[in-house]
Each structure stands twice: as structure tokens, then as C-alpha cells.
Amino acid sequence: MVVGDASLDIDVLVIGAGPGGYVAAIRAAQLGKSVLIVDKSEWGGVCLNRGCIPSKALISAAHQYEAAQHSEVMGVSVENVKLDYAKTQEWKASVVKKLTSGVAGLLKGNKVQMFQGEVMFINENEARVFNEQEAPRYRFKHCIIATGSRPIELKPFPFGGRILSSTEALELKEIPKSMVVIGGGYIGIELGQTFAKFGTKVTVLEGSDTVLPGFEKEMSRLVAKNLSKLNVEVFTEALAQSSEQTENDVTVTFTVKGEEKKVTADYVLVTVGRRPNTDGELGLDLINVKLTDRGLIEVDEQGRTSIPHIFAIGDIVPGLALAHKASYEGKVAAEAIAGQPSVVDYKAIPAVVFSDPEIASVGLNETEAKEKGMNVSVGKFPYAANGRALSLNATEGFVKIVANKDTGLVVGSQIVGPEASNLIAEIGLAIEMGATLEDIALTIHAHPTLGEIVAEAAEGALGHPIHMLGK
């Protein structure tokens, strides 16, 4: 307890314990700072508790369930495949618990003070942290705001009852018979495809002319093909208008190119993006932290806000809302606070969708490279010509590498296919270290592996593909 309400002193106050906040807190502590981290809910934030990790656990379970039903081509037949979804949810929860407990252990091990509660700024150098039991006041030398984001709620589709955000969808106790997904971005497609594999009749409504509009169409096309195989009905250029709930279902009215349609399902899942958590009782307006029109906090290349000793990272600053971007920014901010010359460099931040097949990209795509006036060299190699992919019976997809033809420097890659999320790391490293196509092609890749596809794509871009006829 605080005697006389005097302020306690701390070097760094971190607000939010998600992948940005907890990483920033640990790094600051490693650099000799006294650190207090505050979160109003769980250690690990949305990512570990209600986003990345639980969703990938369900995705993995759905893959297993589907594989058990369709492995006859390899001579493996399984009869009466059953899904115990309660046990699936139990397993998912155990994965989450292991990771969140691990985060708490890492914070304690690095001597970071932890407080479960909320924060309210008193002024630029002091804040009240509080919960139902106590409300100490802290004076800080630096602060890192990492409060994350929350699902965007559409006025005609308020969350509650049979209208779900991703949070509620991940906690469903039973597999629904039918579901409408509003939004065909990465969250909508990942969860929609997962429930479809579990047996749900899924309808996707997407406003643009393709699902996964943030990726090249030759990538999203393969995902759309697999959605069709799962009997997922996809409406593009669709605008959701209204909903009507009953005790047993919900009906969505939407338009496609001006034509009105209706679809009734057990649930509606709304996945149209996320809103930064910069409003509420934190008191950013009180200390005049500068925000953009979208409610994001303006920061410099070290994460510093308009108040020099206050930093912001993750979903509340401009750029992609990615957990790994938040962690990266957290380390940069902590090192800047410690006086190191760290700055952000976003040229090699990968984006991944755990769809089926997986898609991943890093750096520039072919169009972006050409728009920058670059003389472009492109290499593309199919999974279907790779021995490991054939032995896995997973031949859909390709690896595409984009390079500067004049220098040979690798500038980007797009991958669609099994393990794309892992394969993209090699290209990210290549871009980060300034590697050339020749560097990748001359790196001996183990055989038989999916990683060979990366080397084959590099050889293709150099003009001498081995396992594919050149143009």
C-alpha cells in the first residue's frame, strides 16, 4: 500500500502485456532498467489468449480432423472418425496456459514488477495503477504504451447473442451447423475455413473482389479454390446490411452488386478489422499525446510519441497490426530508452495467413518493385515439382522470389503452400542481410525438403532452373 499517496519511482512503466508490451518490459529490464508492467486482463495479451495462439491450435486440430477423413490416397483408411470438440477446446486451453504461464515466468525471472489492473495518466510523468484492491501511484522516467486493439463492431451487427467477434468464436462450446462470416480477410478466412473443416456450413461475405484482398490474386486464388472444395459459399463485392436474431438463428441481409440477398445461420462472425485501444480511461487526451485521424498514436522511428519520454508500439501505431511487429517495436523502444541507437526498419516484416494452403509474403511483390522503378527479376517454382511436397501429398502452391536484376539483391517473396509460414523466414533473412539470388542458390538445401523450393525459385530468377524447364 502507498502511505500518504506518495508516488513510487520506476524507470519504465509498460502499459499492456501483449507480445509488444511484455517483450519491451523484458528487454528494458535486461538493459538495467527498473520496470513495472500493467495489464487489465491476462499476461500475453490478445495474441496468446484470444487470438494468434488459440486460433492456430484450432486450425491444427481442423487439419488433423480433415487428414484423418481423407488419407485413402496413401493407403490409410480410418473409419468412424469422431470429433470431441470439448476435448479440442480443452487441449487449446492447455496450449494457451503453457504459454501465458511462460510469459509470467519470464517477466518474474527478469525482475519485472507485475500489476494486474488498469492505468490512468495523472500527468506526463505520473500514473495511477489500480484494481479493486489497491491503487498505487507511480512516477516514471519513461513509459511504453502497448494497449493493443479490439475487434471492430459494425452498427448493424452489434456483438452479443448470435453475433460474434473472433474472441467468442474461439470459445464456442459446440461446432455450429452454419455460420456467416462478414469479412474475407485473414481472420475471417482462417476461422471460416477451420469451422468448415469441422463440418460447419460457412458463408463468407467480402466487400472487395477477392478474399484476402491484401495479397496478390494468384495467391488468394488457391485459397478460394480450397474454400470451394469445403463447400464454403463466398460472395465477393458483397455489403452486409442488417441482421435479425431469433433464439435459434440469425438472418443476414446483404447486397451483391445491388441485388439483395438473405442468408440464415446459427451464428454470424464479424471480422472486418481491429480498432486501436487508445480511447477509454487511459487519459491520453489529458497529457496531449498526438493521435492520427484513425486514433493511432504518432511515433518516430524509435517509437517515441509527441512526448519524448513516452513511447508507443504495436497495434496502436501506424502500420500492420501484427504480433511480431509489436515485439520488434518493443525491443527498439526499450533499447532507445537505454540510450542505444536502435530504430525500426520494416523492409523485412513477414505477413502470414494460416489458411489452407498457407500464404506468406515479405518485402516487395513484383508490382511494387516495378513501381519503384526497379529492373525486376522473378523466379517462381511450384510445389508440384518438389519431392518432399509430393511425398506429403501437398502439391498445391509455389514460391516466388523477386529480385533487383541489376544487383541481384533479393527484395521480396510470396509463398503459397504447406509451411509457407516457416519458409518465408529464409527470404526475410536474405532481405535483411542484403543477400543476392546467388547467395540463396549457392546455399546447399537439404534433400528432400520443402526448403529446396526456395533455392529452385532463386535459380529460376537467375535464368538457370534445374528441375523446371526454362522459358
Any known ligand binding at 147? yes
Q: Answer for the pair 163, 155: CB distance below 8 angstroms, yes or no.
A: no
Q: What is the H or E stretch that residue 412 is in?
A: strand 410-416
Estimate to the nearest angstrom the gap between the alpha carbon of 145 and the chain centroid.
19
Predicted local confidence at residue 3, as pLDDT: 43
Any known ligand binding at 443? no
Cell of 412: 521480396
Any known ligand binding at 26? no
- Bridge partners of 269, per DSSP, are 164, 181
Any known ligand binding at 417? no
Predicted local confidence at residue 205, as pLDDT: 98
Question: How many angstroms separate the CA atoms of 251 and 263, rounded?
Answer: 6
Question: How many angstroms separate the CA atoms of 396 and 270, rounded?
Answer: 29
In b/e form, how buried is each residue of 103-133, taking b as 16+ CB within 10 angstroms?
bbebbeeeebbbbebbbebeebbebbbbeee
Q: Answer for the pair 30, 110: CB distance below 8 angstroms, yes or no.
A: yes
Domains detected in the chain: 3-151+275-337 (3.50.50.60), 163-272 (3.50.50.60), 357-462 (3.30.390.30)
Interacting residues of 8 by C-beta distance below 8 A, sequence separation 6+:
2, 136, 137, 138, 139
Catalytic: 142?
Answer: no
Question: How many angstroms separate the CA atoms of 258 and 236, rounded?
Answer: 12
Question: How many angstroms separate the CA atoms of 175 and 191, rounded?
Answer: 12
357 preceded by a cis bond (ω within 30 of 0):
yes
Any known ligand binding at 187? yes
Any known ligand binding at 347? no
Predicted local confidence at residue 7, as pLDDT: 84
Secondary structure of the chain: what % helix, strand, coil (to 5)?
35, 25, 40
Per-residue pLDDT of the chain (471 residues; tens, 9 = 90+): 444 467 899 999 999 999 999 999 999 999 999 999 999 999 999 999 999 999 999 999 999 999 999 888 899 888 889 999 999 999 999 999 999 999 999 999 999 999 999 999 999 999 999 999 999 999 999 999 999 999 999 999 999 999 999 999 999 999 999 999 999 999 999 999 999 999 999 999 999 999 999 999 999 999 999 999 999 999 999 999 999 999 999 999 999 988 999 999 999 999 999 999 998 789 998 999 999 999 999 999 999 999 999 999 999 999 999 999 999 999 999 999 999 999 999 999 999 999 999 999 999 999 999 999 999 999 999 999 999 999 999 999 999 999 999 999 999 999 999 999 999 999 999 999 999 999 999 999 999 999 999 999 999 999 998 998 866
Q: Answer for the pair 414, 408: CB distance below 8 angstroms, yes or no.
A: no
Q: What are phi and psi of 464, to 5 degrees?
A: -135, 65
Any known ligand binding at 177? no
Q: Answer for the pair 428, 362: CB distance below 8 angstroms, yes or no.
A: yes
Torsion of CA 459, 464, 465, 469, to 10 degrees: 160
Question: How many angstroms separate the CA atoms of 352 and 418, rounded?
Answer: 12
| DSSP string for residues in 168-234 | HHHT-SS--SEEEEE--SHHHHHHHHHHHHHT-EEEEE-SSSSSSTTS-HHHHHHHHHHHHHTT-EE
Residue 396: exposure state from Cβ atoms within 10 A (0-12, 13-18, ≥19): middle
3-state secondary structure of 465: coil
Predicted local confidence at residue 5, as pLDDT: 67
Q: Which of 149, 131, 129 is nearest to 139 (CA)?
A: 129
Residue 379: exposure state from Cβ atoms within 10 A (0-12, 13-18, ≥19): buried
Any known ligand binding at 109? no
Any known ligand binding at 315? yes
Any known ligand binding at 267? no
Q: How many CB atoms lie within 10 A of CB 141?
A: 14
Q: How many CB atoms lie within 10 A of CB 313?
A: 33
Any known ligand binding at 20? no
**DSSP symbol at 236:** S
Residue 452: exposure state from Cβ atoms within 10 A (0-12, 13-18, ≥19): buried
Q: What are phi and psi of 144, to 5 degrees?
A: -120, 115
Any known ligand binding at 56? yes
Question: How many angstroms separate the CA atoms of 331 and 242, rounded?
Answer: 43
Q: Which of 19, 418, 312, 359 is nearest to 214 (CA)?
A: 359
* The 410-416 sheet, strands edge to edge: 351-353, 359-363, 410-416, 398-404, 376-382
Query: Which residue type does 58 have?
Result: L
- Bridge partners of 12, per DSSP, are 35, 142
- From the list 324, 447, 464, 467, the catalytic residue is 447
